[in-house]
Amino acid sequence: MEQYGRVTDPVSSLRHSRIAGTGRYLPERILSNRELERMVDTTDEWIRTRTGMERRHMAADEQASSDLAIPAARAALEAASCDPAEIDLVVVGTTTPDLVFPNVGCMVQNALGIPPCGAFSCEAACTGWLYALSIADGMIRLGRANKALVVGVETLSRITDWSDRSTCVLFGDGAGAVVLEPSREPGMMGFLLGADGSHVDILRSRAGVSRNPQHFGSGGAAIRMKGSEVFKIAVRTMGGTVDRLLEEHGLDRGGIDWLIPHQANIRIIQAIGKRLNLPDERVILTVQDHGNTGAASIPLALDVAARDGRIQRGQRIMMVSFGGGLTWAAGLMQY
């Protein structure tokens, strides 16, 4: 038996997963704050002060989520020196799939020439990529997969109400991806996942397939958010989840080299950093360039910091996110 077979390995306490490579893709079109000034009653100063955002990328009319996910996945495969034929699990976190079915994972698998394997999408709003990463990590630990491709992708511009100045300044499109491979050292150290459906009304869309389908094409799918309530719960929940995960691993806040939070807005990110007593220089920020890209925001930020040299092998990274549902998650890894 090979040391790491595709589905036949016995469960082993020595088997872990690690990130072998990262990648990202951002659409060419950039929507600046100045352009938004001409669209709704807002200003560049207000947007920067309240959100930290300066620009965001918009998918072209002919681009769907899979069209963003595929080049991000290719970049991750290249960084990992991994042939698509080696991948035996594809998991995509997204709120904005191309179609009801087939899922985005199947589209990515087909486009990249990945052999038949498990391929599916995971929907947990902005937390979707961390949920997806935890699933892929578990499959590798169990020996049910050997190398996994995990993508976070969104075309949130398609469900943004461009007349709503409270939300249209926030969201952007993009994709980030990683390749997970087996490791004898714990790269992915642990995850905490959570959800509380009692807060569903503070961040949601009101149209879908089996509920209110008649509203889907008339703006009913647009993101609706009660910003002040989201802020309070997001800061409290993400900060508490990080503390719990650190405690589980016998670490204090000084044990984190980098924090990669969901890039929702600068005020939430700063509040989490303050709560965790982390200086700004240890928090990865891309919100100024990408806006809120939902499930894509953490893998996008991870790829930026890995490629510009800030994140180095052996460093400990905490990732934390929060999204509609409400959902939240934290993931701790040694890169």
Write out the catalytic residue numbers: 126, 262, 292
Closest by CA to 332, choosing from 288, 286, 276, 265, is 276
Helices (H), ranges, the chain:
33-39, 44-51, 65-79, 104-112, 128-141, 227-248, 266-275, 287-290, 297-307
Backbone angles phi, psi at 292, to 5 degrees: -90, 110
- The DSSP string of 249-309 is TT--GGG-SEEEE--S-HHHHHHHHHHTT--GGGB---HHHH-B-GGGHHHHHHHHHHHTT
Distances (CA, A) of 138 to 12, 65, 150, 151, 180: 12, 25, 13, 16, 11
CB 290 within 8 A of CB 300: yes
Which is it for strands 55-58 and 173-183: parallel, antiparallel or unpaired?
unpaired
CB 182 within 8 A of CB 141: no
